[in-house]
Amino acid sequence: MPESFSQMASSDSFSQIASSLASIARGFYLRGWLVGTSGNLSAVVDREPLRLAMSPSGVDKGELRAEQILIIAEDARVISEHRTKPSDESPLHLRIVKELGAGAVIHTHSIWNTILSDLHAADGGVAIEGYEMLKGLQGVNTHEHREWLPIIENSQDMLALADSIGNTLEKHNDAHGFLLRRHGLYCWGSDLSQAKRHVEILEFLLEAVGRTLLIKDGE
Amino acid sequence: MPESFSQMASSDSFSQIASSLASIARGFYLRGWLVGTSGNLSAVVDREPLRLAMSPSGVDKGELRAEQILIIAEDARVISEHRTKPSDESPLHLRIVKELGAGAVIHTHSIWNTILSDLHAADGGVAIEGYEMLKGLQGVNTHEHREWLPIIENSQDMLALADSIGNTLEKHNDAHGFLLRRHGLYCWGSDLSQAKRHVEILEFLLEAVGRTLLIKDGE
Amino acid sequence: MPESFSQMASSDSFSQIASSLASIARGFYLRGWLVGTSGNLSAVVDREPLRLAMSPSGVDKGELRAEQILIIAEDARVISEHRTKPSDESPLHLRIVKELGAGAVIHTHSIWNTILSDLHAADGGVAIEGYEMLKGLQGVNTHEHREWLPIIENSQDMLALADSIGNTLEKHNDAHGFLLRRHGLYCWGSDLSQAKRHVEILEFLLEAVGRTLLIKDGE
Amino acid sequence: MPESFSQMASSDSFSQIASSLASIARGFYLRGWLVGTSGNLSAVVDREPLRLAMSPSGVDKGELRAEQILIIAEDARVISEHRTKPSDESPLHLRIVKELGAGAVIHTHSIWNTILSDLHAADGGVAIEGYEMLKGLQGVNTHEHREWLPIIENSQDMLALADSIGNTLEKHNDAHGFLLRRHGLYCWGSDLSQAKRHVEILEFLLEAVGRTLLIKDGE
Amino acid letter, C175: A
Q: Identify from D24, D191, D200 which residue to disrupt to test chain A contact, counting A C-beta atoms within 10 A and taking the largest count.
A: D200
Cross-chain Cβ contact A204/B109 below 8 Å: yes
pLDDT tens digits along C194-212:
999 999 999 999 999 999 9
> How large a percentage of chain C has pLDDT more than 90?
90
* Count of other CB atoms within 10 angstroms of residue A216: 11
Q: Residue C31: closest CA among chain D residues belongs to which residue?
A: D30
Cross-chain Cβ contact C133/D60 below 8 Å: no
Q: If DSSP codes are grouped into helix, strand and coil, which group holds residue C127?
A: strand
Helix/strand/coil (H, E, C) string of A161-176? HHHHHHHHHHHCCCCC
CA atoms within 13 A on the CB side of B16: 11
For residues D73-94, b (16+ Cβ closer than 10 Å) or e, as one string? eeebebebeeeeebbebbbbbb
C53: alpha, beta or left, given left = phi > 0 and alpha = psi -120 to 50? beta
Residue in D132, D200, D217 nearest the CB of A184: D132
For range A65-81, the mean pLDDT: 96
pTM: 0.94
Q: Which chains lie within 8 Å of chain C at 3 or more CB pairs, if any?
A: A, B, D
pLDDT tens digits along B114-171:
999 999 999 999 999 999 999 999 999 999 999 999 999 999 999 999 999 999 999 9
pLDDT value at residue A3: 39
Q: Which chains lie within 8 Å of chain A at 3 or more CB pairs, if any?
A: B, C, D
**In the structure, what pLDDT confidence band is assigned to residue C106 with cuts at 50, 70 and 90?**
very high
Cross-chain Cβ contact C193/D60 below 8 Å: yes
Per CB-CB distance under 8 Å, the chain D contacts of B215 are none
> What is the distance between the alpha carbons of residues A213 and A123, in angstroms, rounded to a whole number?
16
Residue B55 has pLDDT above 70, yes or no: yes
pLDDT tens digits along D60-106:
999 999 999 999 999 999 999 989 999 999 999 999 999 999 999 99
Query: Are residues B116 and B210 in contact, defined by beta-carbon separation less than 8 angstroms?
Result: yes
pLDDT tens digits along D194-213:
999 999 999 999 999 999 99
* Count of other CB atoms within 10 angstroms of residue D133: 24
Query: Are residues A98 and A48 in contact, defined by beta-carbon separation less than 8 angstroms?
Result: no
Cross-chain Cβ contact A142/B156 below 8 Å: yes
More confident residue, D1 or D216: D216
* Count of other CB atoms within 10 angstroms of residue B39: 24
Q: φ and ψ at D187, to 5 degrees? A: -135, 160
Q: Which chains lie within 8 Å of chain D at 3 or more CB pairs, if any?
A: A, B, C
> How large a percentage of chain A has pLDDT more than 90?
89
pLDDT value at residue A216: 73
pLDDT value at residue A29: 98
pLDDT tens digits along C113-133:
999 999 999 999 999 999 999
What average pLDDT is seen over chain B?
93
Residue in B35, B156, B217 nearest the CB of A218: B217
Task: For residue D31, give how far its alpha carbon lies from the nearest alpha carbon of chain A (Å).
Answer: 9
pLDDT tens digits along B64-110:
999 999 999 999 999 999 899 999 999 999 999 999 999 999 999 99
pLDDT value at residue B12: 58
Amino acid letter, B170: E
Give whole-number Cα distances, A157 to A82, A93, A178, in Å.
25, 14, 18
Cross-chain Cβ contact A193/B60 below 8 Å: yes
**In the structure, what pLDDT confidence band is assigned to residue A97 with cuts at 50, 70 and 90?**
very high
pLDDT value at residue D48: 94
Using alpha carbons, select from A193, A158, A201 the residue that is nearest to residue A177. Answer: A201
Give whole-number Cα distances, D65 to B94, C47, D195, D210, in Å.
50, 32, 19, 33
> What is the distance between the alpha carbons of residues D219 and D200, in angstroms, rounded to a whole number?
29
Q: How many CB pairs under 8 A join A and C?
A: 3
Residue in D27, D212, D217 nearest the CB of A62: D27
Query: Are residues A21 and A69 in contact, defined by beta-carbon separation less than 8 angstroms?
Result: yes
Residue B20 has pLDDT above 70, yes or no: yes
**In the structure, what pLDDT confidence band is assigned to residue B216 with cuts at 50, 70 and 90?**
confident
What average pLDDT is seen over chain D?
93
Could you tell me which residues of chain A have a Cβ less than 8 Å from any Cβ in chain D? 32, 35-38, 60, 62, 109, 111, 114-115, 118-119, 154, 156, 180, 182-184, 210, 213-214, 217-218
**In the structure, what pLDDT confidence band is assigned to residue B215 with cuts at 50, 70 and 90?**
confident
The interaxial angle of helices A192-218 and D192-218, nearest 10 deg, is 40
Q: If DSSP codes are grouped into helix, strand and coil, which group holds residue A31?
A: coil
Sign of CA dihedral B23, B24, B29, B35: negative
> What is the distance between the alpha carbons of residues C7 and B117, in angstroms, rounded to a whole number?
54
Query: Are residues A119 and A23 in contact, defined by beta-carbon separation less than 8 angstroms?
Result: no
Per CB-CB distance under 8 Å, the chain A contacts of D130 are 182
- Report the largest interatomic distance among the alpha carbons of chain C, rounded to a whole angstrom: 58
What average pLDDT is seen over chain A?
93
Q: Which residues pair with B194 in a beta bridge?
A: none
pLDDT value at residue A4: 42
Q: What is the ipTM of this complex?
A: 0.93
Residue A219 has pLDDT above 80, yes or no: no
Chain centroid to Cα B145, Å, comes to 21
Give whole-number Cα distances, A68 to A44, A53, A54, A80, in Å.
16, 10, 9, 10
Cross-chain Cβ contact B196/C60 below 8 Å: yes
> What is the distance between the alpha carbons of residues B210 and B1, in angstroms, rounded to a whole number?
33
Q: Residue A196: closest CA among chain B residues belongs to which residue?
A: B36
Per CB-CB distance under 8 Å, the chain A contacts of D217 are 217
Give the H/E segment covering residue C189: strand C184-189
Residue in B35, B214, B217 nearest the CB of A204: B35
Cross-chain Cβ contact B215/C214 below 8 Å: yes
Q: Identify from C20, C198, C200, C213 which residue to disrupt to test chain D contact, counting D C-beta atoms within 10 A and taking the largest count.
A: C200
Task: For residue A65, give how far its alpha carbon lies from the nearest alpha carbon of chain D (Å).
Answer: 16
For range D41-66, the mean pLDDT: 97
For range B9-36, the mean pLDDT: 90
Residue C218 has pLDDT above 60, yes or no: no
Helix/strand/coil (H, E, C) string of chain D? CHHHHHHHHHHCCHHHHHHHHHHHHHHHHHCCCCHHHCCEEEEEEECCCCEEEECECCCCHHHCCHHHCEEECCCCCECCCCCCCECCCHHHHHHHHHHHCCCEEEEECCHHHHHHHHHCHHHCEEEEECCHHHHHCCCCCCCCCEEEEEEECCCCCHHHHHHHHHHHHHHCCCCCEEEECCCEEEEEECCHHHHHHHHHHHHHHHHHHHHHHHHHHHC
More confident residue, A215 or D191: D191
pLDDT value at residue A5: 42
pLDDT value at residue B10: 44
pLDDT value at residue D6: 44
Residue D12 has pLDDT above 80, yes or no: no
pLDDT value at residue A215: 85
> What is the distance between the alpha carbons of residues C218 and C214, in angstroms, rounded to a whole number?
7
> What is the distance between the alpha carbons of residues A101 and A122, in angstroms, rounded to a whole number?
29
> What is the distance between the alpha carbons of residues B132 and D137, in angstroms, rounded to a whole number?
46
> What is the distance between the alpha carbons of residues D142 and C170, in angstroms, rounded to a whole number?
59
Task: For residue A146, give how far its alpha carbon lies from the nearest alpha carbon of chain B (Å).
Answer: 14
Chain centroid to Cα B64, Å, comes to 17
**In the structure, what pLDDT confidence band is assigned to residue C16 with cuts at 50, 70 and 90?**
very high
Residue C4 has pLDDT above 90, yes or no: no
* Count of other CB atoms within 10 angstroms of residue A194: 21
For residue A187, the 8-state DSSP code is E
pLDDT tens digits along C179-194:
999 999 999 999 999 9
